[in-house]
């Protein structure tokens, strides 16, 4: 490994919340390349449970204690967003490579300040895993191969009944991740940030032309529906529409995507990715497996780039472009 020995990378995980089960399953899939040797979380019970479930040797009540007591090569930050920037700085001061869950910081200004402060002092990658879902990797490859020609129109939708009461009167979206209800910036910052990044991965840099956000559910503090009108560098229109209270749709989040090209069309619907036109193709996916593969793929990219001295796809400078579009969505203004 460039800058590392041939032994597995020693990873410290910061955070023991819901999402870390997927982080840890991904790290287990990379056995022989990397190993989580310690976990830190102020919730000692949660940290111990994760440690027992995934065979982690050491448990700490803070990242600082973990860094002091355990030799590490890299840190995987999966703590709440308000702790991201200070944790990244703490890890960078110890010379550790960092993988930090999205968003990089609580605000765009804070993220910009963090990136400027680091100034290349450590390897930092943002854990933005949506673009590592296998169907988006396959769609990007089809585009790159010229299967549909130049993309002239794009539509992505995310419709869910997660905020429609079920038979028991529960809201499935909040039963799964109750913290979303407390966010003043909810749907775009927490969920559509993924879709914006995936669209940037597929189409290149985007500009926001118009945004309209709204809230219907009284259980939510922030927005639960959104419409974003964007365009590519070539001027091709891109529509992103989402709503978490759509009757008739399943509560689970499921993307629909249509990419219209000059020689063909790519469509993602349900578990199928299809290419129509001169190069007819179709792939189907186990969507539960694809969800976990997005985490494993993100971690694998991090390890591979560290090993070979390569740039990260979701490096901080690239991620700032996604964060800028998120910020413009709340301002409702053009990004130029």
Closest by Cα among 261, 262, 259 to 240: 259
pLDDT at 223: 97
Sheet containing strand 237-243, strands side by side: 206-214, 225-232, 237-243, 151-159, 255-261, 264-269, 272-277, 281-284
pLDDT at 336: 47
Q: What's the token pair of residue 317?
A: 């400078």
Q: How far apart are CA 94 and CA 88, in angstroms?
A: 10
pLDDT at 176: 86
Strands (E), the chain: 9-14, 34-40, 58-60, 74-77, 97-101, 124-127, 151-159, 206-214, 225-232, 237-243, 255-261, 264-269, 272-277, 281-284
pLDDT per residue, tens digit, the chain (336 aa), is 445 557 899 999 999 999 999 999 999 999 999 999 999 999 999 999 999 999 999 999 999 999 999 999 999 999 999 999 999 999 999 999 999 999 999 999 999 999 999 988 899 999 999 999 999 999 999 999 999 999 999 999 999 999 999 999 999 999 988 999 999 999 999 999 999 999 999 999 999 999 999 999 999 999 999 999 999 999 999 999 999 999 999 999 999 999 999 999 999 999 999 999 989 999 999 999 999 999 999 999 999 999 999 999 999 999 999 999 999 999 986 554
DSSP 190: I
Helix (H, G, I), strand (E, B) or coil at 43: coil
CA distances from 44 to 75, 233, 273 (A): 19, 48, 43
Q: What's the token pair of residue 185?
A: 């910036």
Q: What's the token pair of residue 120?
A: 């290349």
**Long-range contacts of 83-86, Cβ-Cβ distance < 8 Å, separation of 24 or more:** 85/110, 85/111, 85/113, 85/114
Contact 229, 154 (CB under 8 A): no
Task: Give phi and psi for 19, each to the nearest 5.
Answer: -70, -20
Q: How far apart are CA 93 and CA 306, in angstroms?
A: 18
pTM for this one?
0.94
Task: Give phi and psi for 39, each to the nearest 5.
Answer: -135, 140
Contact 78, 14 (CB under 8 A): yes
Q: How far apart are CA 214 and CA 216, in angstroms?
A: 7
Q: What kind and span of H or E run contains 44?
A: helix 44-54
- Please report the domains of the chain, with CATH numbers, ordered by start residue: 9-127 (3.40.50.720), 131-295+320-331 (3.30.360.10)
Sheet containing strand 9-14, strands side by side: 58-60, 34-40, 9-14, 74-77, 97-101, 124-127
Q: What's the token pair of residue 227?
A: 């419409």
Contact 68, 42 (CB under 8 A): no
Q: How far apart are CA 217 and CA 220, in angstroms?
A: 6
CA distances from 156 to 125, 198, 201, 318 (A): 26, 10, 14, 21
Q: Please name the residue that has the structure tokens 């193709």.
A: 281
């Amino acid at each position: 490994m460039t800058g590392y020995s041939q032994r597995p990378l020693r990873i410290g995980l910061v955070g023991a919340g819901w999402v870390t089960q997927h982080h840890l399953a991904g790290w287990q899939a990379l056995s022989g390349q990397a190993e989580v040797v310690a976990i830190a979380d102020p919730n000692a019970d949660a940290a111990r449970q994760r440690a027992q479930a995934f065979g982690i040797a050491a448990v700490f009540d803070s990242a600082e204690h973990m860094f002091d007591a355990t030799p590490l090569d890299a840190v995987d930050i999966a703590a709440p967003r308000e702790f991201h920037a200070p944790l990244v700085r703490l890890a960078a001061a110890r010379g550790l490579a960092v993988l930090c869950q999205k968003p990089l910081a609580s605000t765009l200004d804070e993220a910009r300040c963090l990136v400027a402060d680091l100034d290349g002092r450590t390897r930092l990658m943002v854990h933005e895993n949506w673009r590592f879902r296998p169907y988006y990797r396959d769609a990007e490859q089809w585009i790159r191969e010229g299967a549909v020609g130049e993309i002239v129109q794009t539509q992505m939708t995310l419709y869910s009944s997660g905020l429609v009461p079920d038979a028991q009167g529960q809201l499935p979206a909040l039963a799964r991740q109750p913290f979303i209800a407390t966010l003043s910036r909810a749907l775009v910052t927490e969920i559509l940030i993924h879709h914006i990044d995936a669209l940037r991965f597929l189409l290149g840099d985007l500009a926001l032309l118009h945004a309209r956000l709204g809230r219907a559910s009284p259980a939510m503090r922030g927005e639960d529906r959104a419409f974003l009108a964007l365009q590519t560098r070539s001027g091709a229109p891109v529509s992103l529409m989402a709503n978490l209270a759509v009757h008739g749709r399943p509560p689970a989040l499921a993307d629909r995507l249509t990419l219209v090209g000059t020689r063909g069309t790519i469509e993602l619907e349900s578990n199928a990715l299809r290419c129509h036109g001169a190069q007819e193709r179709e792939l189907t996916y186990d969507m539960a497996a694809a969800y976990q593969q997005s985490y494993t793929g993100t971690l694998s990219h991090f390890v591979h780039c560290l090993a070979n001295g390569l740039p990260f796809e979701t490096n901080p400078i690239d991620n700032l472009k996604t964060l800028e579009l998120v910020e413009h969505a709340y301002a409702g203004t053009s990004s130029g």
